[in-house]
């Protein structure tokens, strides 16, 4: 791909915003309140997430500059840093997370449509499954017309989805809905019975979930004019979104008591704005939710396909996933991903799973790839320092260390039970990995680290299967 043909900064920034700004922003404050977090805990949680996710974003930025040859983002960083099988698990975890995100988006999208068309109910009935299925396959066919063309469409959608969110912020501020007394009453979260530390921990899943997708520009960096642009787009999109998210959380905590926020249904922002401006506020937000989530599903269709296509190009996923059409769209990866999403939509319907359940699983799956990327950035920094490279500044050390620390904080906040249960998602990937290795006439494992990783995942899988009831 030539410089002229590659994606530029604006489109990549919009793409990262599009993959990130989805369902979470409309219900994050209610999810935090439901988990028992008061205003102070929410602010501390955002401070931790802001610093941590910024450092992670800057790790992606730095790696895109110093490792321009690694054009497959998270997978490439893990593979280069820690070997084939660990790299595969980063790719697999990211792919599974993206797929689960699609399912989560579909549930909330049709719940929002249910406000206008009661036939869709809470987003998890037969009509919703049929509607979501048709939408997934429609997006798949549309993207087969060319990824770059699809990214251009996404840029328009991003602008449209931001409008209702900005309107929400303006109405809360200028209509006097923010009550400082309510804000102070919510401050310590004393009605929850949880310590401040526990409250902060309870914000972690929500903050990570709503930032999931920030690495989208890095994932498709192979389609950018250069990888450095992808890193810059990641940084810009993160800063814009952080300002929006913090404003929404703070303002919401000054409109309703925490207990009432916790009781709001999805999307919580719709009910909250309706309490301020009347029923039309809910209509406005639900329209915003529909545009936002549909846009995220559209951009995630690209992400899920590319997160399978790129590893396949490097021999980590089976060869058939490298199939492209004349528009350079990854047809095989698109079809497989859509098929998996389709199956999960049916499973979720019969299991009566919720939006929250899906995003919890998606968040668990993506944490490992995040940690591995940060660790690789730290590894590169240490290596460059030993070689006496001039680019290893204090800032570089800081983002490398803090990004890594934040990654491990995420694992700690996840809890041992969720980490063990996540093995249920990673273990089946071994068969995918073995298939690709045999196709390339390579031995399954290259190192002792690969074997240890396999044993740990297998042990976690077995433990989760036999002890699942007690872990829940």
Cα 314 to its chain centre, rounded Å, is 23
Closest CA to 200 of 417, 409, 395: 409
Report the C-alpha gap between 127 and 305 in whole angstroms: 26
Report the C-alpha gap between 237 and 140 in whole angstroms: 25
Instruction: Take residue 191 and report the two structure tokens written for it.
Output: 């009605």
Report the C-alpha gap between 165 and 312 in whole angstroms: 38
**pTM, rounded to two decimals:** 0.81
- The CA distances from residue 55 to 32, 255, 399, in Å, are 23, 32, 5
Report the C-alpha gap between 225 and 229 in whole angstroms: 7
Report the C-alpha gap between 55 and 251 in whole angstroms: 26
Report the C-alpha gap between 164 and 191 in whole angstroms: 32
Residue 353 confidence (pLDDT): 60
Residue 164 confidence (pLDDT): 85
Can the peptide bond before residue 267 be classed as cis, meaning omega within 30 degrees of 0?
Answer: yes
Spatial contact of 17 and 241, defined as CB atoms under 8 Å apart: yes
How confident is the prediction along the chain (472 residues), in pLDDT tens digits per residue? 443 456 778 878 887 787 777 767 787 788 888 877 778 888 888 888 888 888 888 888 788 778 877 766 677 888 888 888 998 998 898 888 888 888 888 887 887 788 788 888 777 788 988 998 999 999 898 888 766 666 777 777 888 878 888 888 998 988 888 888 888 887 776 666 778 888 888 787 778 777 777 776 666 666 777 667 877 887 888 888 888 888 888 888 888 888 888 888 767 888 888 888 888 888 888 888 788 888 888 888 888 888 888 888 888 888 898 888 888 888 999 999 999 999 988 887 777 666 566 767 777 788 888 888 889 999 999 988 887 677 778 888 999 999 999 888 877 776 677 777 778 888 888 998 999 888 888 888 888 888 998 998 888 888 877 765 444 4
Neighbours of 279 (CB within 10 A): 10
- What phi, psi does 383 have (nearest 5°)? -65, -45
Q: CA angle, corner 206, sides to 355 and 245, nearest 5?
A: 110
3-state SS class at 317: coil
Residue 292 CB contacts under 8 Å (≥ 6 apart), including other chains: 21, 22, 23, 25, 26, 161, 164, 165
Q: Which domains does the chain possess? A: 9-417 (1.20.1740.10)
Report the C-alpha gap between 12 and 18 in whole angstroms: 9
3-state SS class at 224: strand
């Amino acid at each position: 791909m030539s410089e002229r043909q590659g994606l530029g900064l604006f489109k990549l920034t919009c793409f990262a915003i599009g993959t990130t700004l989805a369902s979470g922003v409309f219900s994050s404050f209610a999810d935090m309140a439901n988990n028992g977090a008061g205003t102070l805990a929410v602010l501390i949680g955002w401070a931790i997430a802001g610093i941590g996710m910024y450092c992670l974003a800057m790790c992606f930025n730095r790696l895109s500059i110093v490792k321009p040859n690694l054009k497959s983002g998270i997978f490439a960083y893990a593979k280069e840093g820690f070997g084939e099988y660990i790299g595969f698990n980063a790719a697999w975890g990211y792919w599974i997370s993206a797929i689960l995100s699609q399912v989560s988006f579909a549930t909330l999208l049709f719940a929002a449509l249910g406000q206008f068309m009661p036939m869709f109910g809470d987003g998890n009935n037969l009509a919703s499954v049929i509607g979501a299925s048709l939408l997934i396959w429609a997006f798949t066919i549309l993207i087969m017309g060319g990824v770059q063309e699809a990214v251009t469409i996404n840029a328009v959608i991003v602008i449209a989805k931001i409008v209702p969110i900005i309107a929400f912020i303006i109405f809360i501020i200028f209509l006097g809905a923010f009550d400082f007394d309510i804000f102070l009453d919510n401050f310590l979260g004393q009605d929850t019975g949880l310590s401040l530390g526990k409250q902060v921990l309870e914000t972690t899943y929500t903050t990570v979930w709503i930032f999931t997708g920030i690495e989208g520009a890095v994932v498709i960096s192979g389609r950018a004019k250069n990888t450095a642009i992808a890193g810059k787009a990641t940084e810009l999109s993160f800063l814009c979104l952080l300002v929006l998210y913090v404003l929404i959380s703070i303002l919401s905590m000054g409109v309703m008591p925490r207990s009432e926020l916790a009781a709001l249904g999805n999307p919580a922002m719709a009910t909250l704005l309706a309490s301020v401006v009347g029923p039309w506020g809910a209509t406005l937000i639900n329209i915003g939710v529909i545009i936002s989530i549909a846009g995220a599903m559209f951009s995630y269709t690209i992400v899920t396909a590319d997160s399978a296509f790129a590893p396949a190009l490097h021999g980590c996923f089976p060869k058939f996933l490298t199939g492209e059409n004349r528009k350079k769209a990854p047809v095989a990866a698109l079809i497989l991903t859509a098929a998996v999403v389709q199956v999960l939509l049916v499973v979720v319907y019969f299991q009566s799973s919720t939006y929250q359940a899906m995003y919890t699983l998606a968040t668990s799956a993506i944490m490992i790839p995040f940690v591995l990327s940060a660790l690789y950035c730290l590894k590169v920094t240490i290596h460059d320092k030993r070689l006496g490279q001039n680019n290893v500044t204090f800032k570089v050390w800081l983002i490398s260390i803090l990004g890594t620390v934040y990654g491990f904080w995420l694992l700690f906040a996840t809890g041992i039970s969720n980490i063990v249960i996540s093995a249920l998602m990673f273990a089946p990937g071994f068969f995918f990995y073995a298939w690709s290795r045999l196709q390339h006439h390579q031995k399954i494992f290259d190192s002792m680290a690969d074997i240890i990783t396999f044993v740990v995942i297998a042990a976690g899988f077995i433990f989760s299967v036999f002890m699942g009831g007690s872990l829940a």
